[in-house]
Amino acid sequence: MSDYQHRARKRFGQNFLHDAGVIDRILRAIRAKEGERMLEIGPGQGALTEGLLGSGAQLDVIELDRDLIPILQGQFGDNPRFKLNQGDALKFDFSQLQAEPHSLRVVGNLPYNISTPLIFHLLDNAELIRDMHFMLQKEVVERLAATPGGGDWGRLSIMVQYHCRVEHLFNVGPGAFNPPPKVESAIVRLVPHEVLPHPAKDHRLLERVVREAFNQRRKTLRNTLKALLPASAIEAAEVDGSLRPEQLDLAAFVRLADQLAMQPGNAD
Ligand code: SAM
């Protein structure tokens, strides 16, 4: 370890894990194995990195804060299975890792301000990914793992569940971090489907229908989707237009998106 004392930076969302019990529980949930391809986003001062490398996995890390680079390099740089990438994970081109399809295991105690865009960026490369384990704000994990009918069910739940199976593994209190965040956290596991259970003709149209429907979540679908779909198309999707968006499951949204694909202007 170097003598340099790193001061946590708010703008990089730095809340470093220091509770050995929590770190161990996370590593046991991930169960990294020798030879696996792993990617850690935001390794910070290496709280999870050490255990991940200890498993014998091949580990790439992406860290944005330049001041942490010498610390990480000093701690792990001698290990031939460790590769440090300095930069913004939101801009990182995951194809450069040249991972086999469905092989990459992604891990991160994520900065909360980038967690949602980062998950969407990773889902653009879902075919490379075997699974993802993230520490997120507990409220975000509840939205990811939500089921239809409740207030948590929305755009994030639907678009992530379109691509992945979601498991809310366990919660972590603020005391496990230094400095402690103001919110509760939780660990989530996302496993991209090898075969999509409800494939849409065009997933961009699914995004559009979902966004439009949840823009005004108190209104009926007939109302919110008026500009996109005539009542007859909603009926053809076997959806009751008098329902509100939170009452619809993923399969119903996919049927609406497929009706949208057949509307003039969107048809092939
Ligand atoms: N993994 C460490 C731990 O558990 O103690 C650090 C977690 S801390 C919540 C988030 C880390 O992500 C910090 O090291 C921060 O510098 C880094 N980070 C923030 N924004 C990033 C970005 N856009 N790309 C890559 N790393 C980022």
Q: pLDDT tens for residues 132-146? A: 999 999 999 999 999
Give the pLDDT mean for 12-34: 97
| Mean pLDDT across 242-251 | 97
List beta partners, residue 16: 178
Nearest CA to ligand 1 atom 23: 88
pLDDT at position 28 is 98
Percentage of the chain modeled with pLDDT above 90: 92
> How high is the pLDDT of residue 3?
53
**HEC string for the chain:** CCCCCCCCCHHHCCCEECCHHHHHHHHHHHCCCCCCEEEEECCCCCCCHHHHHHCCCEEEEEECCHHHHHHHHHHHCCCCCEEEEECCHHHCCHHHHCCCCCCEEEEEECCHHHHHHHHHHHHCCHHHEEEEEEEEEHHHHHHHCCCCCCCCCCHHHHHHHHHEEEEEEEEECHHHEECCCCCCEEEEEEEECCCCCCCCCCHHHHHHHHHHHHHCCCCCHHHHCCCCCCHHHHHHCCCCCCCCHHHCCHHHHHHHHHHHHCCCCCCC
Alpha carbon nearest to ligand 1 atom 11, residue: 42
Average pLDDT for 43-71: 97
Q: Read off the pLDDT of each residue in 44-48 and give the average, rounded to a whole number.
A: 97
* Alpha carbon distance 1, 181 (integer Å): 25
Identify the pLDDT of residue 268.
60
What pLDDT, on a 0 to 100 scale, did the predictor assign at position 25? Answer: 98
- Which residues sit with their C-beta closer than 6 Å to ligand 1? 12-17, 41-45, 47-48, 62-65, 68, 88-90, 109, 111, 114
- pTM equals 0.95
**Cβ proximity of 61 and 92 under 8 Å:** no
- pLDDT per position as a tens digit, 222-238: 999 999 999 999 999 99
Give the model's confidence band at 16: pLDDT under 50 very low, under 70 low, under 90 confident, else very high: very high
Mutate to test the pocket of ligand 1, among 63, 69, 136 (most ligand atoms within 8 A of CB): 63
Closest C-alpha residue for ligand 1 atom 1: 43
Residues 100-131 have pLDDT tens digits of 999 999 999 999 889 999 999 999 999 999 99
In the numeric block, the tokens 């194995």 are attached to: 33
pLDDT tens track for 148-186: 999 999 999 999 999 999 999 999 999 999 999 999 999
pLDDT of residue 2 exceeding 60, the answer is no
124 is in an annotated binding site: no
Q: Which atom of ligand 1 is nearest to the CA of 42?
A: 12
In the chain, what are the domains? 10-192 (3.40.50.150), 203-261 (1.10.8.100)
> What does the pLDDT read at residue 76?
98
Rounded to the nearest 10°, the torsion over CA 225, 148, 120, 177 is: 140
Query: Tell me, what's the pLDDT at 267?
Result: 65
